[in-house]
Structure 1
Amino acid sequence: MEQGRARDAAWPCAPAHPAHRTRVPDPARSPEQRAAVGSGHGEHSRSEPAGPAVRPVPGGPEPLAAPGAKAVRRHSVRGQILDALRTALVDGDLVPGEVYSGPALGERFGVSATPVREAMQQLAVEGAVEVVPNRGFRVAERSAGELADLAEVRALIEVPVMLRLARTVPAGCWAELRPLADATVSAAAVGDRGRYAESDRAFHGAVLGLSGNQQLVAVADELHRKAQWPLVSAPVTRRADLVADASEHTALLDALIARDLAVVQSLVREHFTGAPG
């Protein structure tokens, strides 16, 4: 504990993990402006569900070119596809239990099957999908119990750190995170689940980043991402739920700036009992 406090004193406004050093998503951009990656409508096998309306993650790489447009540099394609697939998972466009093939998704993205397969392999490592030999990738099916387990582990990691930071971090450092909290509110207001998921993780990552512990931030971010995957046969997250979750970010930041430790403790504990953030 004393070592942690010493680190906090040495890093009063420590930068967040590199994964969160992205520009704040622009609330003025509509979902239509952040159009789906690739506009083609490729053929699907009868056993494969219709392709997802995949969008790039806001604040990340620019969208991939549609079929017939100038090709994107090869080294950037995999990352763009990975971001787009992660957004599709959060949006529910990739359905738990369904199998998707690399060639079919590649056709819809306007790219070859290779970067799609590479991105899917990364998602398999993360546990979001599983490889189905000779068919493609099946989206993982998760239960409400698994989501509750993730929330419990996240709370065990994040709550003590947030409470410690509430006692040591200057108000000015918390004030610098206001744009990140506002970004979650903006995304929630329009029901943009993909943009909300990214801004939600960015806010939490920035808060934990003030500890200066990059290992902590990386582990927490991985757990957070998994907690955002859809449940089996679960309804899509309602806009009202996103708005309520985003309001907790704003209230938490206000309490941290005011150093109201009682309110901070109440908010951080309650925040992990609900969904989606």
Structure 2
Amino acid sequence: MHEAAHAPVSKESWVPAVPAQKVLRHSVRGQVLDALRAALVDGELAPGQIYSGPALGERFGVSATPVREAMQQLALEGAVECLPNRGFRVLSGTPRALAELAEVRALLEVPVMLRLARTVPPATWEALRPAALATAEAAAAGDLPAYADADRAFHRAVLSLAGNAQLVRIAEELHRRAQWPLPGAPRVRRADLVADAAEHSALLEALVAQDLPVVESLVREHFAGSAGC
């Protein structure tokens, strides 16, 4: 008696099974990481303070494990340091470090912006209007974490037009670090966020017009005088 023939499984249709528990754990860790990043930007996690995994887990309604995993990611990003048997200390930035970040971002992004201004058609820039509008809406609401996310999304959308994934990744990391508040700094005012967001629309106008001097001036000023963004 011959065994029944089995139909071959195509590479296109076969997807390896992923345990639901693993997916859920990754999802929880990602959500906690997003919440911790928002708390850093908003100043809820204060520079110099020590936070324990169990205490933060209780705050977010999760176990300490995804909190520790998220904090380890933040340690890699330079936001916190791990203290064995104690928890995690939020690192304190300095005005000098913030200025250095602005300088490095300008060195990376200004040449790219100028090249894109010469080569990208106006219709492509017009398609980024919703991204600029999202920053304006978050700014008008005075929602600093939402503004930080929208601001990074706008810059990411612009830089992605260069077709260089490594550039986008490095610029995003620098951008995120620039958004962490300085110790003792007053909370960013809504008016500052609104002014910062307006520079995105002005930049799009200059890019559409291929006005290179204005593009360069706006990008440099945006980094040097932005509301931590």
TM-score, scaled relative to structure 1: 0.73
Q: In the alignment, what sits opposite 1:85?
A: 36
Deviations along 1:48-107, one digit per CA (max 9) or x if unpaired, are xxxxxxxxxxxxxxxxxxxxxxxx932310000001100110011100000000001101
Match of 2:138 among 155, 173, 187: 187
1:196 aligns with 2:130: no
AA paired with 2:45? Answer: L
Structure 1 unpaired stretches of 5+ = 1-71
Deviations along 1:160-186, one digit per CA (max 9) or x if unpaired, are 110111011000111111110000000
Higher helix share: 2
Match of 2:205 among 254, 257, 269: 254
Match of 1:214 among 165, 182, 187: 165
Give the drift of 1:231: 0.7
Deviations along 1:217-260, one digit per CA (max 9) or x if unpaired, are 11100000000111111111111111111000010011111222
Aligned partner of residue 81 in structure 2, secondary structure? strand
Deviations along 1:12-43, one digit per CA (max 9) or x if unpaired, are xxxxxxxxxxxxxxxxxxxxxxxxxxxxxxxx
Give the drift of 1:114: 0.5
Structure with bigger gyration radius: 2
Q: In the alignment, what sits opposite 1:153?
A: 104
Give the drift of 1:273: 1.1
1:237 aligns with 2:188: yes
Q: For residues 181 and 85 of structure 1, what CA distance do their matches in structure 2 show? A: 25
Q: For residues 74 and 122 of structure 1, what CA distance do their matches in structure 2 show? A: 15
Q: Which runs of 4+ in 1 moved over 6 A?
A: none
Aligned partner of residue 147 in structure 1, secondary structure? helix
AA paired with 1:73? Answer: L
Give the drift of 1:190: 1.0
**TM alignment of 1:100-139, pairs within 5 A:** 100-139=51-90
Q: In the alignment, what sits opposite 2:126?
A: 175
Alignment: residue pair count: 206
Q: For residues 194 and 107 of structure 1, what CA distance do their matches in structure 2 show? A: 21
Aligned partner of residue 225 in structure 2, secondary structure? coil
Identity among equivalent positions (%) equals 72
1:223 aligns with 2:174: yes
Aligned partner of residue 137 in structure 2, secondary structure? helix
Give the drift of 1:198: 0.4
Deviations along 1:106-125, one digit per CA (max 9) or x if unpaired, are 01111100100110011011
Deviations along 1:114-144, one digit per CA (max 9) or x if unpaired, are 1001100110111100011211000010111
Q: For residues 260 and 127 of structure 1, what CA distance do their matches in structure 2 show? A: 37
Q: For residues 144 and 249 of structure 1, what CA distance do their matches in structure 2 show? A: 24
